[in-house]
Chains A and B, each alone.
Chain A
């Protein structure tokens, strides 16, 4: 009997170990393959110059780097206040029924395929503005980002003990000030993690940009003009028949992965320091 129990235990443990190994192996394989394919093509010129016409060698993804920074920046400008205020509202002010409705909406919004969000913004903004634009791309990304931020902000503010809110109120500090200066700082590691998660998620989005930012061979031309983005450029280059472009797609993929990695490492370090 004990023999059977021990055998089952050993088998289950090795299955767990194997699964963990597979998960890590997949990550390492993706990173390794992307880097081995892309790294050789990364150079100063690749990072700074604009794409060359088909047939000419050289050129780079400077336009896409600028575009991604711009789009993510716009997404942050719209998405962070929207998500943060929604999260604060649900955690601190909303009655239970309203809180449930907002939370449910955020969860649904989170689950909407991002290409649908792109189509929605196309109908709402692109058609109204009569053209693809950086602005519409930023709005589409903000809509994807906001529910992530709202939910993480809400969850981490709820973890701040009620007794701290009461301590603030008992000192004669107004409620809004208590939330702003006592609850929010306490929830900051969680809030920042949510913002970073949202940022990393939208930085890699392709689908919502297809009908909004559209892509461009030029750098920044104005908020009402189309703009390039790294994921878009990867998509277009990767499906092109030209070896040179395919090579550049790999290199751009490395940039994107590295960007995400840097962001998540920075977040880990920052939030870990806050805990001490």
Chain B
């Protein structure tokens, strides 16, 4: 069923020893919503400081998979998880792991831009720090500026930091949400179809951003858009829904190989547009 190319673990050129410990290792992961199994026996490795894209048709469990990496899946009533996810070698599902702590090192960007509507641009970016700790205003300003620069939004908003975040355009709102996630200095950035509500120009900006952020963060991006996966990612995982609606990982490998030389017939059918 699962075809992991032998080259995958530690594929980041030259650092194969380190890479086997760092990054995100998903081991035999199953997830349920109530009685409905949404993920079955997922095994894969997301390499540090590279972009992993998850593609597949709607309902195949891509979003559920990344929501298991910051333990947001279990917030849904009736949802549960078995198996393990190792973040830099530490099992985030081990008893005693605090999901609140975990989420500070695993940031997330959602499908629709969701800035906090009652907060200004500044407060949106500062929210993760302000609501967790007491940080002096001056230091907070530095973090907000740095995060907005990283999200390529600073020049557009530096003169209106006190305006509500919801006053920005859709693409700007999404970059604001990226800045908000980066402000807490995570090691991993999860992106759940971050461009599906955006126009092509805004999408292009986000994609550029993903390529820049790749230098500092481990990024996992879920996308419906295969061209997007091909453009931004180093590795790609293809998922499908089995007969009982549980999502399974069909194929995982270097993005170039997945798109030019898929091993599985179903992957080939999907990427050539024969279904999905």
- List A residues at the B interface (Cβ < 8 Å): 95-96, 161, 163-175, 177-178, 181-182, 185-186, 188
Contact = CB atoms under 8 A, between A and B. Distances in A.
Contacts of B21: none
A250 to B, nearest CB: 44
Interface stretch (B99-107, B154-162, B248-256): B99-107
A163 B103 contact: no
A172 B100 contact: yes
Contact of B118 (A171, A172, A178, A188): A188
Contact of A170 (B101, B108, B132): B108
Contacts of A188: 118
A166 B132 CA distance: 16
Interface string B111-150: 0101011100000000110011000000000000000000
A175 B98 CA distance: 12
A161 B114 contact: yes
B112 A185 contact: no
B198 to A, nearest CB: 16
Given A163-B110, A182-B116, A171 B180 contact: yes
Contact of A169 (B75, B116, B181, B184): B75
B135 to A, nearest CB: 14
A17 B226 CA distance: 57
7 contacts: A168-B127, A171-B128, A172-B102, A172-B105, A172-B132, A174-B132, A185-B118
B233 to A, nearest CB: 21
A166 B110 contact: yes
A-B residue pairs, 5 tightest by C-beta: A172-B104, A171-B128, A170-B108, A185-B118, A172-B103
B114 A164 contact: yes
B75 A171 contact: no
> Residue among A96, A166, A172 with the most chain B CB within 10 A?
A172
B118 A186 contact: yes
Contacts of A185: 118
B177 interface: yes
Contacts of A163: 110, 112, 114
A166 B180 CA distance: 13
A134 B108 CA distance: 53
Nearest to A276: B164
Contacts of A168: 116, 127, 131
B107 to A, nearest CB: 7
A171 B114 contact: no
B209 interface: no
A167 B116 contact: yes
B116 A164 contact: yes
Interface string B68-81: 00101001010000
> Residue among B103, B104, B105 with the most chain A CB within 10 A?
B103
Contacts of B180: 167, 171
A165 B114 CA distance: 10
Given A161-B114, A163-B110, A167-B116, A173 B132 contact: yes
Contacts of B108: 166-167, 170
Contact of A181 (B101, B102, B131): B131
B103 A169 contact: yes
B99 to A, nearest CB: 8
> Residue among A173, A181, A185 with the most chain B CB within 10 A?
A173
A173 B70 contact: no
